Chains A and B, each alone.
Chain A
């Protein structure tokens, strides 16, 4: 079951699963997934003021990247390790 993920959990998970912090904005932090030192287009934007990554945000990101919301939830909630995270990205049905 998917539910909102605390931003601090998501931030820690992303940095441990192959994402690197990128240039953000005043309002948002940005994290890009790297594969073998190459940037991918898979990114997660976290609000600097928001306490949680909300479900609608996960759904729209899932649609954008061709990833199931449940898989994105497990990435953000630190249930997937780095290898599983990369596998989610590599095996996405929509490219």
Chain B
């Protein structure tokens, strides 16, 4: 599976102790690995890992995301595997939004004593399959 790593801008370094943007693998519509996505149209990206709350999380396999342009945000990304998406003014922001959602949903479905309905059980199974133990 083609993917590469991107060097991320760190625009808010002083404010990022709890949140580090995800590391990204990007390929363009022709399957060519790129360091940074400049033309998001009809593109596919792979999110490799991210850090949050002092933990570094590396997906068991790169998470494939579909990338499109939004009207208000420059980037909308969607993971068909997980049925989850993110938005942002940069690709890194959108991926960060997605990864934060993944982490929060996983955390919330695992904790507490409330039962999970069918949709939540299925979502948790998908998350467990891609997140490390």
Prevailing SS type, chain B contact patch: mixed
Q: What's the minimum C-beta distance from A55 to chain B, rounded to whole angstroms? A: 6
Q: Which chain A residues lie closer than 8 Å to B109 at the CB level?
A: 39, 41
Residues of B in contact with A (beta carbons under 8 Å apart): 18-19, 52-53, 70-73, 76, 78, 83-87, 100-101, 103-105, 107-109, 111-112, 114-117, 119-120, 122-123
Q: Say yes or no: A38-B117 contact (C-beta < 8 A), given A56-B70, A56-B87, A63-B78.
A: yes
Number of interface residues of A (CB under 8 A): 32
Across the interface, which residues of A come within 8 angstroms of B107, CB to CB? Answer: 23
Docked Cα-Cα span, A32 to B114, in Å, equals: 12
Cβ contacts under 8 Å, B105 to chain A = 41, 43
Q: In the complex, A55→B72 CA distance in Å?
A: 7
